[in-house]
């Protein structure tokens, strides 16, 4: 199926469900960047989706969605916004979704209430987001990523796509489980990064503190602080390794870098990922130059200037692209 801006609603739903492909994701991003109205519509649909996810998780009996649709069509055209009625046009596909949401929410109140906490859904496009979850755990979400929560009296469960850094509140009686593709990451309380954004076929788990259980199918590995696992989602293989000294696994959101005797060949990919830029070393021998410094929330322009000054290099920049040239470090 060829997706166009005319059937954007389906792409929105796929992103919320964590089932959107890379090509579809790019189409949705272009649509969102086209206008502020598109972003507002996306926000309204996100709020509806959150209610639907909550309802589906606690409902105890099937509902007649078709009957709800008939009663809802005449009422769904206007949604209040800041005290004023704002007209929102929906195609039949989304009217059906909205009808389901309204009926599910009513049924929860009528039939049983819920012992689960209202789920949180976070989705990012061009910016990173930080939030504190209801259990006290803190999360940072990278660009083009999403996560949803399912917390109850017996479990803390996260479904995510993309990349996120977690600082999990300790609770031995309620393990914290993260689902990403076919991989489950289980912890009690620790700090670690989960990356499915850099390579959609792999999940990389990097542990800064504590202990983490990683599982895909029947394969299980336990990671300690300073260790990393790369999980191939196709083969189910788990490759363990030590975190590189240049790891800086959370630098993508706090922009604090520690480079202690780290070669530029390792520094450059970290900066490219964090700032979404391209950096070229025209002289490949520059990759062996070793950097001894720390950066604390500096702009990429400032960082590149300092690196060029440190190694007496020439620097060129153009619209998010940088190049460094000069003699090697011998």
Domain end residue (candidates: 187, 216, 242): 242
Q: Total structural domains in the chain?
A: 3
- What CATH number does the domain containing 281 carry? 3.55.50.30
One domain, residues 92 and 177 = no
Higher pLDDT, 144 or 185: 185
Band (8; pLDDT cuts 50, 70, 90): confident
Does pTM top 0.85 for this prediction? Answer: no
Average pLDDT over residues 287-313: 93
Question: What pLDDT was estimated at residue 12?
Answer: 79
Question: Does the pLDDT of residue 313 top 90, yes or no?
Answer: yes
- Residue-number span of the structural domain to which 147 is assigned: 121-242
Contact predicate 289/268, CB 8 Å: no
Domain end residue (candidates: 242, 272, 306): 242
Domain end residue (candidates: 111, 131, 161): 111
Alpha helical stretches, state H, the chain:
8-17, 22-34, 36-58, 65-72, 92-111, 251-254, 264-275, 300-310
Question: What pLDDT was estimated at residue 154?
Answer: 83
Torsion of CA 295, 299, 305, 309, to 10 degrees: -10
Question: What pLDDT was estimated at residue 31?
Answer: 85
One domain, residues 204 and 286 = no
For residue 116, being part of any structural domain is answered with no
One domain, residues 97 and 155 = no
Tokens at residue 211, please? 């202990």
Question: What pLDDT was estimated at residue 292?
Answer: 92
pLDDT in tens, 38-95: 777 777 677 666 555 444 443 333 434 444 444 434 433 433 434 443 344 444 444 4
One domain, residues 194 and 284 = no
One domain, residues 264 and 228 = no
């Amino acid at each position: 199926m060829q997706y166009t801006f005319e059937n954007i609603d389906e792409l929105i739903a796929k992103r919320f469900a964590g089932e959107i492909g890379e090509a579809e994701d790019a189409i949705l991003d272009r649509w969102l960047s086209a206008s502020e109205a598109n972003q507002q519509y996306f926000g309204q649909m996100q709020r509806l989706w959150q209610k639907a996810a909550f309802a589906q998780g606690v409902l105890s009996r099937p509902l007649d969605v078709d009957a709800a649709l008939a009663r809802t069509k005449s009422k769904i055209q206007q949604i209040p916004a800041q005290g004023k009625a704002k007209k929102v046009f929906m195609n039949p596909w989304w009217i059906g979704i909205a009808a389901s949401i309204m009926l599910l929410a009513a049924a929860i109140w009528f039939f049983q209430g819920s012992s689960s906490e209202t789920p949180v859904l976070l989705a990012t496009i061009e910016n990173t987001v930080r939030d504190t979850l209801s259990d006290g755990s803190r999360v940072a979400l990278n660009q083009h990523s999403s996560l949803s929560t399912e917390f109850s009296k017996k479990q803390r469960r996260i479904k995510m796509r993309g990349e996120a850094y977690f600082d999990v509140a300790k609770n031995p009686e309620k393990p914290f489980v993260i689902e990403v593709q076919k991989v489950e990451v289980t912890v009690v309380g620790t700090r670690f990064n989960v990356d499915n954004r850099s390579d959609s076929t792999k999940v990389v788990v990097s542990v800064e503190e504590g202990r983490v259980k990683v599982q895909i199918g029947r394969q299980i590995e336990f990671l300690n602080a300073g260790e990393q696992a790369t999980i191939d989602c196709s083969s189910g293989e788990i490759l363990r390794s030590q975190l590189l000294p240049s790891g800086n696994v959370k630098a993508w959101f706090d922009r604090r870098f520690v480079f202690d005797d780290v070669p530029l060949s390792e520094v450059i990919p970290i900066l490219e990922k964090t700032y979404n830029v391209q950096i070229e070393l025209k002289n490949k021998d520059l990759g062996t130059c070793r950097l001894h410094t720390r950066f604390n929330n500096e702009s990429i322009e400032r960082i590149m200037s300092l690196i060029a000054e440190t190694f007496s290099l020439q620097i060129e920049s153009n619209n998010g692209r940088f190049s460094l040239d000069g003699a090697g470090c011998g």
